[in-house]
């Protein structure tokens, strides 16, 4: 499938330009660095690595990448100036970029509210010393929070990339299931190292997060530590595999449980309850539905059996593995599912003696309901 990436990235940047105009901001600065990662630069340009990006209310734009060769290949943006032009110093680069983009003297320049105090002071000093003496604005509710909301509603290209990640994830899940049945995979590292190798053969960049392969002795943990060992997996009891892949930056996030008998009645109950919660809560993943209601439904199902889920029901995915919206009973009453959200649905129950069960799929909220993008399930042996 072909996409006009120049148009897609430009459309995203134009939404920020409109926001800047409406809120009397002269420019917005996005920084992706070792100090604090921000995937917004990739969202607006396609560039996947360290850089500064300046967007102004007048529509000027400039990307200043650490790796100019990579940016020349990956970035879709109006102007590109490498860090080498500014001695690889962000403090030197930023005033020069603002001047290059025609940002008016004394104007408000929006920076992420998540910037560290140390870096805030560095940039404030650099901007104050510049001839134009711009004002650094780190308001909590500003353009950077607006970008978070933009990213929560996926466009056609983002949906395509996520579906590709989901397709590759499902294919690997089926191979893993086959090799567990045949006995070829019998420990955690068999599964995790297969994923690491195969995802690259399938054209993915990396895992979405560190793979969690927890056999019967370790599946009681929500996120087993370490992520995987040489211990048994898929053997008698309950085993969990939580993994995902990144395709063109977009993440899948799935969890399967392998239940190999003989199982106790209590273990069977955990399996049945998690499957029931997944089915019931999916009905609430609809546009306009309250996110909190879905989380509460899972809690009600488990509470009726005297059990409780120790984590949220789901979260958005995209260029980051955890994005808005977050499906939790702590979500505000005004947080609603919207068409374009891609959200996990991951009920789980865990017991130190019985082991753990989690079932996680990625769900696209559509205009009329939802579409489950992945085929994770509980495998019984």
* DSSP class per residue in 129-191: HSTT-PEEE--SSSHHHHHHHHHHS--HHHHHHHHHHHHHHHHHHHHHHHHHHHTS--BHHHH
How far apart CA 16 and CA 31 sit, in angstroms, is 15
**Does position 282 have pLDDT exceeding 90, yes or no?**
yes
Write the pLDDT tens digit of every residue in 25-71: 999 999 999 888 999 999 999 999 999 999 999 999 999 999 999 99
pTM: 0.95
- The predicted structure's pLDDT at residue 124: 87
Strand order in the sheet with 245-247: 206-207, 245-247, 250-251
Average pLDDT, the chain: 96
How big is the chain, counted in residues?
381
Q: How confident is the model at residue 130 (pLDDT cuts 50, 70, 90)?
A: confident
Band of pLDDT at residue 128, cut at 50, 70 and 90: confident
pLDDT at position 109 is 94
Instruction: With beta carbons less than 8 A apart as the criterion, state whether 329 and 368 touch.
Output: no
344 neighbors 255 (Cβ within 8 angstroms): no
The reported pLDDT for the residue numbered 9 is: 97
Provide the pLDDT for residue 307.
98
Residue 313 near residue 327, CB atoms below 8 Å: yes
- Label residue 134 by pLDDT band (50, 70, 90): confident
pLDDT-wise least confident of 62-71, 136-145, 290-299: 136-145
Rounded CA gap, 31 and 33, in Å? Answer: 6
Which pair of structure tokens corresponds to residue 189? 């590292």
């Amino acid at each position: 499938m072909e996409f006009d990436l120049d148009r897609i990235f430009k459309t995203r940047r134009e939404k920020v330009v409109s926001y800047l105009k409406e809120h009397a901001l002269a420019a917005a600065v996005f920084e992706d660095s070792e100090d604090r990662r921000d995937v917004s630069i990739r969202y607006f340009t396609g560039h996947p690595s360290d850089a500064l990006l300046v967007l102004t209310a007048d529509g000027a734009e400039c990307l200043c990448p650490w790796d100019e060769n990579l940016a020349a290949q990956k970035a879709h943006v109006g102007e590109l100036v490498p860090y080498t032009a500014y001695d690889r110093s962000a403090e030197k680069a930023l005033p020069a970029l603002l001047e290059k983009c025609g940002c008016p003297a004394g104007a408000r320049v929006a920076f992420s509210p998540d910037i560290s105090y140390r870096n805030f002071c560095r940039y404030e000093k650099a901007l104050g010393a510049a001839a134009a003496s711009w004002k650094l604005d780190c308001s909590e509710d500003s353009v950077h929070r607006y970008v978070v909301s933009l990213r929560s509603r996926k466009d056609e290209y983002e949906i395509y990339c996520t579906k590709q990640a989901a397709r590759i994830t499902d294919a690997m899940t089926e191979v893993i299931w086959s090799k567990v049945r045949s006995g070829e995979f019998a420990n955690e590292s068999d599964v995790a190292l297969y994923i690491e190798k195969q995802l690259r053969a399938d054209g993915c960049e990396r895992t979405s997060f560190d793979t969690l392969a927890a056999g019967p002795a370790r599946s009681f943990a929500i996120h087993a530590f370490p992520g995987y060992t040489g211990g048994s997996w898929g053997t008698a009891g309950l085993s969990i595999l939580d993994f995902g892949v990144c395709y063109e930056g977009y993440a899948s996030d799935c969890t399967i449980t392998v239940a190999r008998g003989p199982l106790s009645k209590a273990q069977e109950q955990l399996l049945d309850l998690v499957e029931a919660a997944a089915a019931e809560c999916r009905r609430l993943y609809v546009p306009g539905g309250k996110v909190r209601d879905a989380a509460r439904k899972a809690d009600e199902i488990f509470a009726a059996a005297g059990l409780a889920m120790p984590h949220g029901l789901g979260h958005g995915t995209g260029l980051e593995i955890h994005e808005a919206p977050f499906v939790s009973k702590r979500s505000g009453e005004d947080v609603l599912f919207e068409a374009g959200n891609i959200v996990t649905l991951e009920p789980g129950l865990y017991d130190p003696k019985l082991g753990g069960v989690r079932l996680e799929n990625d769900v696209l909220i559509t205009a009329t309901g939802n579409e489950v993008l992945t085929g994770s399930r509980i495998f019984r042996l």
